[in-house]
């Protein structure tokens, strides 16, 4: 499959852009653009302040002291950034660590950069919200030198814009413990092409408003690397639990799509299913996995899932590609059992099969949490052709040398 079969790439001679060269996608999030930035610092558990803070005026020595025994660690805490106490946001630049890795004081603090200014008791929680690391820019850890002045930070910076035509944005949780990490230098997240790392526990991001494809034909593209043994790991999901979802189950990709959320339209497309549907098939899928072990386990993968209605027999079909091949094909099933037995000729013809997305990394109920790394999520509001999929395969294969090829 892909370009290995002699297909000429018409984009040779210029840089291929998946955001423009195949028509504008409905949704496009390239997390490599924001992963190693202040929006996604390393995880830091909330600690406690040492002193009372008055309801107005500058802080003593423009500093916030951290309570002994509740210190942040220099190994994960940024050198400049934003913290939240009650409902008041403070910027800081530099810190003191007088006892090893324990941070005892935040320096050069500016209060009330966002939120509401108020008095704060001693011993209340102080939460990291955003931050930059001096070591990434050749600076001295703890100094804040050469880093952004976060006194101009606003809560609008907790929004991650959708570059697709549907607009809108991801609402980044203000608590870093509830958002994925961006500073990941192994696996899919190499230093030159970073990504977001989801912990499989509570990392979930929500769109400001649900986005739905306009019809039953669509293409969903992921560049991702699940960790452990993926089972019920939701990459994306709609407003209502499992009614709209794309999820990794062992050696299968499960898709449920129904824009109203009133009933399941179901498909579980197995990478070991090499049977081809006789009408409108895109070819014979290549077997990439066994019945029990996951071909996705710990593998960096490009995955493209294409759903389209065959104009000959009016049946809904789903195709799954990796970075090289067509690796799965099946009919959509409205019975709730679907996707396990090949291509029954009497398969139902589901209706209302547009896909809705509102959550990334888990269901709305914070179940089926995804564990692993995600670099790209793109949804096209149409079924891309085999030739167009080949362009995407080559593009991401060049960007991510670690992508799985077997």
Domains of the chain: 2-36+182-399 (2.60.120), 47-155 (no CATH)
pLDDT tens-digit series, residues 268-278: 777 766 777 77
pLDDT tens-digit series, residues 344-375: 344 556 666 789 999 999 887 778 889 999 99
Confidence of residue 11 (pLDDT cuts 50, 70, 90): very low
| pTM over the 0.85 mark | yes
R_g of the chain computed on alpha carbons:
24
Choose among 290, 348, 287: nearest CA to 317.
Answer: 348
Average pLDDT, the chain: 84
């Amino acid at each position: 499959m892909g370009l290995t079969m002699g297909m000429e790439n018409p984009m040779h001679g210029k840089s291929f852009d998946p955001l423009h060269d195949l028509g504008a996608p409905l949704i496009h999030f390239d997390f490599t653009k924001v992963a190693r930035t202040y929006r996604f610092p390393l995880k830091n558990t909330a600690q406690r302040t040492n002193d009372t803070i008055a309801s107005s005026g500058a802080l003593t020595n423009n500093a916030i002291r951290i309570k002994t025994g509740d210190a942040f660690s220099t190994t994960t805490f940024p050198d400049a950034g934003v913290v939240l106490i009650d409902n008041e946001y403070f910027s800081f630049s530099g810190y003191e660590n007088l006892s090893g890795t324990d941070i005892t004081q935040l320096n050069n603090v500016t209060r009330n950069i966002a939120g509401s200014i108020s008095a704060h008791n001693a011993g209340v929680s102080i939460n990291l919200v955003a931050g930059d690391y001096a070591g990434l820019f050749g600076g001295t850890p703890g100094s804040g030198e050469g880093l952004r002045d976060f006194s101009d930070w606003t809560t609008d910076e907790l929004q991650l814009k959708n570059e697709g035509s549907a607009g809108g944005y991801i609402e980044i949780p203000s608590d870093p413990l509830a958002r994925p990490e961006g500073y990941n230098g192994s696996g899919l997240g190499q230093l030159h092409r970073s990504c977001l790392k989801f912990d499989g526990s509570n990392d979930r991001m929500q769109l400001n408003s649900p986005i739905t494809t306009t019809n039953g034909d669509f293409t969903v593209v992921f560049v991702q690397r699940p960790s452990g043994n993926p089972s019920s790991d939701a990459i994306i999901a709609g407003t209502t639990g499992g009614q709209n979802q794309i999820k990794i189950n062992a050696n299968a990709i499960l898709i449920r799509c129904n824009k109203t959320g009133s009933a399941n339209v179901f498909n579980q497309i197995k990478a070991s299913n090499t049977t081809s549907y006789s009408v409108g098939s895109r070819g014979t899928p290549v077997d990439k996995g066994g019945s029990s072990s996951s071909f996705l386990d710990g593998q960096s993968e490009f995955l493209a899932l294409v759903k389209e209605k065959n104009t000959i027999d009016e049946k809904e079909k789903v195709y799954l590609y990796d970075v090289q091949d067509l690796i799965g094909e099946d009919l959509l099933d409205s019975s709730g059992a679907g996707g396990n037995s090949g291509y029954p000729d009497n398969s139902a013809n589901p209706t209302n099969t547009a896909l809705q997305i509102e959550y990334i990394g888990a269901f709305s109920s914070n179940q089926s949490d995804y564990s692993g790394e995600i670099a790209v999520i793109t949804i096209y509001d149409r079924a891309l052709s085999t030739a167009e999929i080949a362009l995407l395969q080559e593009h991401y294969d060049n960007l991510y040398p670690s992508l799985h090829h077997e």
